[in-house]
Amino acid sequence: MEIKVTADLLDGLVLALLESQDYYGYALTQDMQQAISISESTMYPVLRRLQKAEYVTTYDAPYQGRNRRYYKITESGENHLQRIKKMWNDYKESLDAVFAAADKRKQNAYDEEGQHE
């Protein structure tokens, strides 16, 4: 089973990679695939959306007689990434609290069951 990745989380993952270095599309897709299942046909619309929102800019650089389009995070993109990280941490903490409470209830029920034997 895979957990679905929302557009906001996908944006955050892309911006997080771009925070450390500029990428061309194929290399960015390859690195994203280390974490989630994503195709190039999904990645490019994400990059266009981020570019339209001015969270990334592009520039072309020659490579083996061709141009590669590189994506670079902007200051606005860095600010957006920080908001996404905060939302993710808040969300993760709330889910962790639910899972921890469920585990504790299960352990308490197990402990009570053991005392009655």
> Is the pLDDT at 104 greater than 90, yes or no?
no
CA distances to 43, 61, 65, 73, 107 from 11, rounded to whole Å, are 10, 24, 31, 11, 38
Distance between CA atoms of 47 and 15, rounded to whole angstroms? 10
- Write out pLDDT tens, residues 23-81: 999 999 999 999 898 888 889 999 999 999 999 999 999 999 999 999 999 999 999 99
Q: What is the mean pLDDT of the chain?
A: 91
User: What pLDDT is recorded for position 116?
Assistant: 60
pTM attached to this predicted model? 0.81
